[in-house]
Copies of this chain bind each other. A is one copy, B any other.
Amino acid sequence: MDNTNEELDILRDKVRGVTTEIMRVVQQRIELARKIGEVKSRLGIDIKDEKVEHEIRMRVMLLAQEIGMSTEFALQLLNILLVESEHVQAQKSSQKVVEKQTHLGIFSKAKQLEATGKKIIHMEVGEPDYSPPTRVGAALAESFRMKLYHYTDTQGIAKLRDAIAAKEGGGICKDHVVVTPGGRFAVFSAITSLLRTGQELIVIEPAWPAYKECADFVGARTKILRTTLEDKWIPDTKQLEGMINSSTKMIVLNYPNNPTGKVLDHKTMENIVLIAKDHGLYLLSDEVYADYVFAEFSSIRKYDYAKSIVVGSFSKRYAMTGFRVGYGIANKDIVSKMARVQAVAITSVAEPMQQAALAALEVDPSENIKLMKKRLDFICRKLKKMSLRCVEPEGAMYAYPELPKGEDIPIVEKLLEKGVALAPGSGFGDSYKRFVRISACQPEKMLEKGLDVMASVIREQM
């Protein structure tokens, strides 16, 4: 016994020595990173260098295999080294991190202005102005009478999951559904349960900022695939495949797209699914605008890919944003991981809200869809008259035109002063400062007023 304790002591002593050694070498690496930061700053070179990063990642993987280290652990370790290097370089460099101005920031400013008595036309948020189905109100009152206000199954009440499974079709059942507080939490629970620190996901920009926010929350890295107005917002699937490395775990899709209204054609979707399959990646498909579709659209579910997760919501379909009910659809294994996050963070979704959603599902939302299409057509005609470039939306609730001159933030701020709230394009990606997002969640008359103000502000800029 004593003998073996001695053995332990010797081993522990070695651990101490090796730990000191690790710290010293790591510090050497940090010093080098600092120097590189200085050189880059002098040359005005961007701190991030994907190519160099990729190369070092490949090296570390090969080395891990060679020395018998778990690749997953090696990549995790490398990642915290890379993050610290970036951190140190940013300190040395003149590049500053500026808080991003998003549609929510403008919404909040607009609300503050309203509180001072100013009238604002809200064309910045994706919150329909029409009402939820009347039976939703009845269901609310009923839920209280029937004492339906208790903890529910973490995944959601069985009846609601049954109804969602039936609506979605394709042979799924309630076990493939998790009811979440809004589509946002389905995104949050999918990303935080399926990705870990140092792993990567690919987001196609322009994009709703939530995907990156959720990735940041668990220390996962967001790689950006940019699309352009010139290419009609269609992602280059070759480029997509080129971005994949051993740390990549997920591709995020969002079609019909917020903010562009783009819907992908079958061929492109098929390509993306094949790429995901080839590399064993999760496909998170945020389809909360799936009802608002004016072109041919197929859900990722049609492609029958086991590692796909569909996000749906009652917010847009039934104008039920403030009820905070959405859902995720995936295989049982993924659903149980997402439900686990839900159990830790919120226990379950408020039961009266689930009852309200259940009642809503019986209602056909097609009138809402027609109305939205009509408004988007109206917006597009107005934009054409203003000679702004814009890809006509094939779905969702937004137009995303290019500004003829200047950047989004000053123009959005000037518009807000004049009582019109728009979302700055750069809220959906750093490279979209020349764009704004116009939400069609207002009556046509209001949209007309707002767009007229926008036209006059843009004329002034010319």
Binding site for B on A (CB under 8 A): 1, 4-5, 7-8, 11-12, 14-16, 18-30, 32-33, 35-36, 39-40, 42-43, 52, 56, 59-60, 63-64, 67-70, 73-74, 76-78, 80-81, 84, 104, 108, 111, 125, 127, 131-132, 136-137, 140-141, 143-145, 147-153, 181-182, 184-185, 188, 192, 197, 210, 213-214, 217, 219, 320-325, 341, 343-353, 356
Contacts and interface: CB of A to CB of B under 8 A. Distances in A.
Contact of A81 (B22, B325, B350): B22
A69 B7 CA distance: 32
A46 B78 CA distance: 30
B324 A346 contact: yes
B150 A346 contact: no
B8 A36 contact: yes
A15 B39 contact: no
A83 B28 CA distance: 23
Contacts of A5: 43
Given A19-B59, A43-B4, A67 B24 contact: yes
A104 to B, nearest CB: 8
20 contacts: A7-B39, A8-B40, A11-B32, A14-B32, A15-B29, A15-B33, A22-B26, A23-B60, A23-B64, A24-B63, A26-B77, A131-B147, A140-B141, A149-B320, A185-B346, A197-B219, A217-B341, A324-B347, A324-B349, A352-B352
List the 10 closest A-B pairs by CB distance, nearest first.
A137-B144, A149-B322, A322-B351, A150-B322, A324-B350, A141-B141, A18-B29, A188-B345, A213-B344, A27-B67
Given A347-B182, A348-B324, A56 B16 contact: yes
A23 B63 contact: yes
A350 B347 contact: no
A336 to B, nearest CB: 13
A184 B84 CA distance: 32
B151 A322 contact: yes
B63 A20 contact: yes
B36 A12 contact: yes
Nearest to A210: B344
Q: Give the one of A125, A182, A346 with max B CB within 10 A.
A: A346
Nearest to A11: B36
Nearest to A196: B219
A24 to B, nearest CB: 6
Q: Give the one of A59, A60, A352 with max B CB within 10 A.
A: A352
A64 to B, nearest CB: 7
B214 A344 contact: yes
Contact of A39 (B11, B21, B131, B197): B11
A4 B322 contact: no
B151 A144 contact: no
A147 to B, nearest CB: 7
Contact of A56 (B19, B76, B210, B353): B19
Contact of A137 (B74, B145, B153, B182): B145
A39 B4 contact: yes
Given A7-B39, A148-B322, 14 more contacts: A1-B43, A8-B40, A15-B29, A15-B56, A16-B59, A18-B28, A20-B59, A21-B25, A137-B141, A140-B352, A151-B322, A325-B350, A350-B353, A352-B356
A151 B137 contact: no
A181 B1 contact: no
A341 B185 CA distance: 11
A145 B351 CA distance: 19
Contacts of A28: 18
B148 A140 contact: no
A324 B156 CA distance: 13
A443 to B, nearest CB: 15
A352 B144 CA distance: 12
A67 B194 CA distance: 37
A127 B81 CA distance: 47
Q: Give the one of A11, A127, A323, A351 with max B CB within 10 A.
A: A11
Given A23-B64, A77-B80, A140 B150 contact: no
A70 B34 CA distance: 13
